[in-house]
Structure 1
Amino acid sequence: MAKRERWGTRIGLILAMAGNAVGLGNFLRFPVQAAQNGGGAFMIPYFTAFLLLGIPLMWVEWAVGRYGGKFGHGSAPGMFDAMWKAPISKYLGSIGLFISTVIMVYYTYIESWTLAFSFFSITKAYFGETTFEAMGSFLRSYQGIEKNYFQSILPAYLFMCFTLLINFSILYRGISRGIELLAKIAMPTLFLFAIILVIRVVTLGTPDPVNYPDRSVESGFAFIWNPDFSKLGDAKIWLAAAGQIFFTLSVGMGTLQAYASYLRESDDIALSGLSTAATNEFVEIILGASIAIPVAAAFFGIETTQEIAKGGAFNLGFVSMPIIFQKLPFGEFFGFLWFLLLFFAGITSSVAMAQPLIAFLKEEFGISHGRATAIIGFSVFICIQFVVFFLKHGFLDEMDYWAGTFGLVIFALFEIIIFAWIFGMKKGWAEIVKGADIKVPKIFYYIIKYITPLYLLFIMVNWLIQDAIPTLLMKGVNPEDVPYRWGARVLMLLIFLAIVLMVRAAWKNHEKTKIG
């Protein structure tokens, strides 16, 4: 067996793992979710989900990855097969490869918008578009949904190509010289930019005390953090909080396991996993919650901010924030920092999404690293064309729901059952505490075995009833968009079938090798 790559330093590993977790959701999705779901009251189910889902799954995925790496596996099919010698195990692992691949296809396109808007900020390209209608039209024009500021989709396409090139150039360099180096540069820079922006927001106070004395940064913080306890009885709040934990920690998509597979057998995962989760939470709760919503409340007032939150993460990040930057001294500089911050958050996550499939091709088929990276890069480039040109028809939304929302829970549920019940919790616990630099509370033994699987089952059943069935039946979808939505499903099915067939071929090769 060829010698596998290893992480160069522990700090590099933690920063890479944290970079995998820290993404666009920390700065865009989290404040919107908190604002939509009861403000401070949202934090109660959020921290509950963090303790009962986030930390347990984080440890489980680190343990699964390190265990699989011992057998030379850097992707979920091989890891599941190592833990459960049943024909179906490797195919359940295929779901992890499918999820990370599909998410990367559309996530990289969104990531390219942040790079474009950082350029538009420093060049003042959108300055003069000072209303929600005008700025929304600027964004839609850039996306190719309408013709206004941009006459074609060419700028978006070029930024997409450049973003893909950056991603796969980093991946081509491997674990320590590529991903780890990126994390060591991008994560500290991200922290620096976020802290500068938080300081600028906090020092805004009340921007227009004469005309709008009630519009202040303080009112924005109060909007997010003051709890409305009456909303705690709403199951949707608990589901939204659990969903945010999945998004923010990047659990359930096979990427944490891939990174953990490059650990040595005796390397700590208990403290490292906890450090990764804590870093992500600091970015999300302290930094992410202190920028977009408070500054929107200061300039637009609480009612308008609520409407912005209802409009979703894109309205918050790409419409309201550019309007605000135009109202600030040196706004082009702060806009540049904001969107470049989002780009760094995005790219540290997107490179992680490609790594499992690259590892799979290398380890199961013996393909060279450079060739494996080129194959995945070309495949993602082909698939992303549909997202770029059919965005206005909901192509991205369809992929995001089935792979980036519902699929995460499905995969995590299979994983926790295999780890805690088939592999066995005694062996699983021994794997978690092996080489641990901290004492892991024994209560998590029972949480992982009983509470986390039940929590996941509760989420899955509720999402199935509330969202999955209506989405499957395309309720509320414009008739003209239905063929494109079906196109997204066909593309996802083809990707999944391709992965399953590759897994089948790989294991047939293994059997022939054993016989030979």
Structure 2
Amino acid sequence: MSGNKDAWGSRIGLILAMAGNAVGMSNFLRFPVQAVQNGGGTFIIPYLVSFLVIGIPLLWIEWSMGRFGGALGHHSTPFIMDTMARNRLWKYIGVFGIWTNIAIAAYYCYLESWTVAYMVHSIKGSFLGLDQGEVAAFFDSYISLGTSTLGIPWEPFVFFILVLLLNTYVLSQGLQKGVERVAKIGIPLLILFGLFLAYQGATIDAGENGAIHSSIEGLNFLWTPDYSNMWSPSVWLAAAGQVFFTLSIGMGTVHCYASYVKAKDDIALSAMTSGWMNEFVEIVLGSFILIPISIAFLGMDRVQELIELGSLSLGFKTLPYLFMQWGDVIGILSSFLFFSLLFFAGITSSLAMGTPWIGFLKDEFKWKHSPAAWSFGIIIFVLGLPTIFLYKYGVFDEYDYWAGTVSLVVFALLECILFAWVFGMDKGWKEITRNAEIRVPPIYKYIIKYVTPVLLLIVFLGSVFTPKDNDWEGAISGTWILDDSSIISKLRNTGLKEKLANASDSETIAFVTDQLFYVNASRLLLMVVFIGFAFLVYIAYKKRQSEPINPPH
């Protein structure tokens, strides 16, 4: 019997914490960029379909698995999954639910620290008087550990330490006094700040403060349907991928949070509430800030160029400049609120990432809560250092690709198979509907069993065999050339090897050679960490076998 007695203080606290787990920085940075790149208004159709047939089913699966395992004294995925199947291998598949969170937190806390640094720089007025190029140069200098206006040596490292200490301290306070308290403060403030910025973004007139267009044109650009892309496989794969990003499914955090729900409590309505709260933040608030403001001041062509560089180019390299166009006071306030909003979105997610590891140590090795929380901080510190000091070599992106993208789909597919086909859909359906406060549509029994796993398999295979430039139509009808972003090409380092082969100067050759080394080393490090966690699960399993069986009360 686990000595893990942590619990949620209230249902609203649980829902806000679950919503905080789901609401992350991608709601405001990644979603609008994905929408623009994939057909504007038509993107919302495959996005909502993916939410209904992948997102909601996986939320119900993970909530019910968590509650089921929690009733048996398990608060992390290795032994939650172990209780649902006789095959001993499932507990090692459950390692994904610990490893993924640790690996993501290692770079996510660093990303989170950028928002704190930018909050400070906003208040200090560091962005006043800078043009867009100078703001972009500021970011490049910052992440390269260059000199900052604060005069702090290794400034990114210092802010990373501060953010990591804050995360670890909050986790050490437990669910009620730590995670739940932050969610009750952070999520309402996030929504309040988002509403203010959405109003500011939606009311820009052409010619006002130098705006080229009105914000309405930006919204039209974002949501005007392009039906020619409607049935493009790349659009549907992008939509399904965004659902993973935005709901934090396939990670193990939902299982862990739900494991502290009482056995008699509803999970069907709670899962829907937290899921739709996330959708409101993403679709409504996320749509009215980044793209409309950028297009209003920069024009559509320039925004298209920046989008090709990624969402971070708009968020950190561009928005501080755009906010300052509203005048010193409103500009500083808006910039501060935006990065505060991102911070609250970030910390409510990173706190969730620490809970599976803490639950595992408390359940299996009888650790006290505080030491378990601080061990999380130590691991993230060590694993996060390469993302800071080797950022320019792509280590940050490697962590994000393997842990924050590929792992989510793989684990979600396997847990769906476990729940619907191994544990059994009849038993699984009883878990979902037990004490449910809403009527779960019976069609979902078949969606979970057949539709969701098939779609997850398609998403995974699409990631493995991604064609050049995401041209699925051309690949299917002609020669299939793998894109550098495909899993196969990533493993082969195709893009880097081509860059090395085409390099003509010694400096570029040396840099790409170093990059190849650090990229491969980071993958090896992540693999070693996974094997280490699997070994701990093995030790815990052997320990359980040697102990007398005491049924949970």
Matched, 1:66 2:67: yes
Question: For the aligned residues, what is the CA RMSD?
Answer: 1.6
Q: How far did residue 148 of structure 1 move?
A: 7.8
Is the partner of 1:7 in helix, strand or coil?
coil
d(CA) in 2 for partners of 1:212, 1:372: 51
Separation of aligned partners in 1, 2:143 and 2:432: 45
Please state how far the C-alpha of 1:147 moved relative to its aligned partner.
6.1
2:36 alignment partner AA: A
When residues 453 and 39 of structure 1 are mapped into structure 2, their CA distance, relative to the original with a 3 A threshold, is: same
Aligned position for 1:257: 255
**Amino acid aligned to 2:270:** S
Structure 2 counterpart SS, 1:319: coil
In structure 2, what residue type is equivalent to 1:301?
G
Say yes or no: does 1:96 pair with 2:115.
Answer: no
Counterpart Cα distance in 2 of 1:306 and 1:343: 26
Q: Where do 1:327-338 residues align within 5 Å?
A: 327-329=325-327, 330=329, 331-338=331-338
Aligned to 1:275: 273
2:54 is aligned to 53
Q: CA deviation at 1:205?
A: 2.1
Equivalent position of 1:445 in the other structure: 445
Q: Distance in 2 between matches of 1:268 and 1:148?
A: 50
Aligned to 1:325: 323
Q: Quote the residue 2:543 is aligned against.
A: 509
* SS of residue matched to 1:355: helix
The answer to whether residue 265 in structure 2 is matched with residue 232 in structure 1 is no
- SS of the residue corresponding to residue 263 of structure 1 reads coil
For the 8 Å contact 1:141–1:151, the answer to whether it is kept is no
Retained in 1: the 8 A contact 2:250–2:409? yes
The runs of at least 4 aligned residues of structure 1 exceeding 3 Å deviation read 145-153
Q: Output the amino acid matched with 1:461.
A: L
1:462 aligns with 2:501: no
In the alignment, residue 230 of structure 2 is paired with which amino acid? L
Give the AA of the match of 1:84.
A
Residue type of the partner of 1:487? A
Q: Which amino acid aligns with 1:119?
A: V
Could you say what secondary structure the match of 2:264 adopts? coil
Contact preservation (8 Å) 2:71, 2:263: yes
- Does 1:472 pair with 2:491? yes
Asked if 2 retains the 8 angstrom alpha-carbon contact of 1:142 and 1:150, the reply is no
Q: 1:184 deviation in Å?
A: 0.4
Show CA shifts across 1:191-237 (max 9, x none).
1110111111122222449x876x12011101111110101232111
Number of the residue aligned with 2:13: 12
Question: How far off its partner does 1:476 sit?
Answer: 1.7
Q: Is the 8 A contact 1:145 1:391 kept in 2?
A: no
Partners of 2:126 and 2:149 within 8 A in 1: no
Secondary structure of 2:287's match? helix
Shift of 1:149: 6.3
Question: Equivalents in 2 of 1:3, 1:77: separation in Å?
Answer: 16
Question: Are 1:266 and 2:264 an aligned pair?
Answer: yes
How far residue 488 of structure 1 moved from its aligned partner, in angstroms, is 0.9
Q: 8 Å contact 1:108–1:350 — kept in the other structure? A: yes
* Residues 137 and 148 in structure 1, CA contact (< 8 A), matched pair in contact too: no
Cα deviation 1:298-351 (Å, max 9, x = unaligned): 101111111222211111110110110121122111100000110000000000
Corresponding residue number in structure 2 for 1:421: 421
Give the 5 Å matches for 1:294-313. Answer: 294-313=292-311
Within 1, Cα distance between the matches of 2:132 and 2:439? 54
- Is 1:166 aligned to 2:166, yes or no? yes
CA contact (8 A) 2:205 2:211 kept: no
Would the alpha carbon gap of residues 72 and 212 (structure 1) be closer, same or farther in structure 2, given more than 3 Å must change?
A: closer
Instruction: State the Cα deviation string for residues 150-193 of structure 1 (Å, max 9, x = none).
Output: 88861111111110011011100001111011100000111111
CA–CA distance in 1 between the matches of 2:222 and 2:362?
Answer: 46
C-alpha distance in 2 between matches for 1:149 and 1:121: 11
Paired position in structure 1 for 2:483: none
- What is the letter of the counterpart of residue 494 of structure 1? V
Aligned to 2:470: none
The aligned counterpart of 1:245 is: 243
Measure how far apart 1:295 and its partner are.
0.4
Letter in 2 for 1:79: I
Q: Is residue 205–residue 215 contact of structure 2 (8 Å, CA) maintained in 1?
A: yes
Asked if structure 1 preserves the Cα contact closer than 8 Å seen for 2:145 and 2:156, the reply is: no
Identity of aligned residues (%): 44
1:97-496 maps to which residues of 2 (within 5 A)?
Answer: 97-132=98-133, 134-144=134-144, 154-208=154-208, 215-329=213-327, 330=329, 331-466=331-466, 467-477=486-496, 478-496=512-530
- Report the more deviating stretch, 431-440 or 328-337: 328-337
Distance 2:549 2:190 in 1: 51
TM-score normalised according to structure 1 size: 0.97
Aligned length in residues:
513
> Unpaired runs of 5+ in structure 1?
none
Structure 1 residue 129: Cα displacement: 2.3
Q: Is the 8 A contact 2:15 2:270 kept in 1?
A: yes
CA 318–514 in structure 1, closer or farther in 2 if over 3 Å, else same: same
Q: SS of the counterpart of 2:64?
A: helix
